[in-house]
A and B are shown apart, each in its own frame.
Chain A
Amino acid sequence: MTAVTQPNPSAPSPATPNARVATGLGRAPRAVALISGGLDSMLAARTVQRQGVHVEGINFFTGFCVEGHTQGIRQREDLPPKRNNALWVAEQLGIRLHIVDVVEAYRDVVLNPRHGYGSHLNPCLDCKVFMVGRAHRWMLEHGFDFIVTGEVIGQRPKSQRKATMPLIADESGAGERLLRPLSAHNLEPTLPEREGWVVREALHGFTGRSRKPQIALAAEFGFSDFAQPAGGCCFLTDPNYSRKLRDLWGHRQNRRYELDDLILLKVGRHLRPRPHFKVIVAREAGESRFLEGYRSEFTHLRILSHSGPLALIEGEVDDDDLRLAAAVVARFGQGREADEAVLEVRRPGDEPRTLRVRPLRPEEIPLDWYL
Chain B
Amino acid sequence: MHHELDARRLLCPMPVIRTQQRIAALHRGDTLTVAATDPGALSDIPAWCRVHGHEVCEAWREAGEVYVRIRVAGD
List residues of chain B with CB within 8 A of the CB of A293.
Answer: 9
CB nearest to A83 among chain B residues: B43
8 A-B residue contacts at CB 8 Å? A7-B57, A61-B14, A68-B13, A87-B47, A87-B48, A90-B47, A91-B51, A100-B17
Q: Is the CB of A84 within 8 A of B44?
A: yes
Q: Is the CB of A3 within 8 A of B44?
A: no
| Segment 42-75 of A: residues with Cβ below 8 Å from B | 59, 61, 65, 67-73, 75
Known A7-B46, A69-B12, A77-B39; further 5 A-B contacts with Cβ < 8 A = A81-B42, A84-B12, A90-B51, A95-B51, A96-B51
List residues of chain B with CB within 8 A of the CB of A5.
Answer: 42-43, 46, 56, 59, 68
List residues of chain B with CB within 8 A of the CB of A95.
Answer: 51
Q: Is the CB of B40 within 8 A of A11?
A: no
Question: How many A residues touch B, CB cutoff 8 Å?
Answer: 41
* For the complex of A and B, 7 pairs with smallest distance between CB atoms: A72-B38, A68-B12, A5-B59, A87-B47, A7-B56, A81-B40, A90-B51
| Segment 1-41 of B: residues with Cβ below 8 Å from A | 9, 11-14, 16-17, 20, 37-41
Q: Is the CB of B42 within 8 A of A4?
A: yes
A86 CB to closest chain B CB (Å) equals: 8
The verdict on A366 contacting chain B, using a C-beta distance below 8 Å, is no
CB nearest to B63 among chain A residues: A1
CB nearest to B58 among chain A residues: A3
Query: B11 contacts which of A59, A73, A97 (Cβ < 8 Å)?
Result: A73
CA distance A293 to B46 in the complex (A): 25
Query: B61 contacts which of A4, A59, A82, A101 (Cβ < 8 Å)?
Result: A4
Could you list which residues of chain B lie within 8 angstroms of chain A, going by C-beta atoms? Answer: 9, 11-14, 16-17, 20, 37-44, 46-62, 68, 73
B27 CB to closest chain A CB (Å) equals: 18
List residues of chain B with CB within 8 A of the CB of A67.
Answer: 12-13
| Segment 5-25 of A: residues with Cβ below 8 Å from B | 5, 7-11
What per-residue 1/0 map shows which CB atoms of A83-116 lie under 8 Å from chain B?
1100110110011111111000000000000000
What per-residue 1/0 map shows which CB atoms of A179-202 lie under 8 Å from chain B?
000000000000000000000000
Given known contacts A8-B50, A9-B53, is B13 in contact with A99 (CB within 8 Å)?
Answer: yes
List residues of chain B with CB within 8 A of the CB of A96.
Answer: 51-52
- Please report whether the interface of chain B is mostly helix, strand, loop or mixed according to DSSP: mixed
The verdict on A234 contacting chain B, using a C-beta distance below 8 Å, is no
The verdict on A263 contacting chain B, using a C-beta distance below 8 Å, is yes
Given known contacts A3-B59, A91-B51, A98-B20, is B43 in contact with A84 (CB within 8 Å)?
Answer: yes
Q: Is the CB of A72 within 8 A of B17?
A: no
Could you list which residues of chain A lie within 8 angstroms of chain B, going by C-beta atoms? Answer: 1-5, 7-11, 59, 61, 65, 67-73, 75, 77, 80-84, 87-88, 90-91, 94-101, 263, 293
Given known contacts A68-B40, A84-B13, is B48 in contact with A97 (CB within 8 Å)?
Answer: yes
Query: B39 contacts which of A8, A65, A81, A88 (Cβ < 8 Å)?
Result: A81
Q: Is the CB of B47 within 8 A of A91?
A: yes
CB nearest to B46 among chain A residues: A5
Q: Is the CB of B39 within 8 A of A75?
A: yes
A38 CB to closest chain B CB (Å) equals: 16
List residues of chain B with CB within 8 A of the CB of A1.
Answer: 60, 62
Query: B54 contacts which of A9, A72, A263 (Cβ < 8 Å)?
Result: A9
A105 CB to closest chain B CB (Å) equals: 14
B35 CB to closest chain A CB (Å) equals: 13
CA distance A109 to B40 in the complex (A): 28
CA distance A83 to B11 in the complex (A): 13
A166 CB to closest chain B CB (Å) equals: 32
Q: Is the CB of A8 within 8 A of B51?
A: no
List residues of chain B with CB within 8 A of the CB of A3.
Answer: 58-60
List residues of chain B with CB within 8 A of the CB of A4.
Answer: 42, 59-61
Given known contacts A68-B11, A73-B11, A84-B16, is B50 in contact with A9 (CB within 8 Å)?
Answer: yes
A67 CB to closest chain B CB (Å) equals: 7
List residues of chain B with CB within 8 A of the CB of A90.
Answer: 47, 51
List residues of chain A with CB within 8 A of the CB of B50.
Answer: 8-11, 91
Q: Is the CB of B17 within 8 A of A101?
A: yes
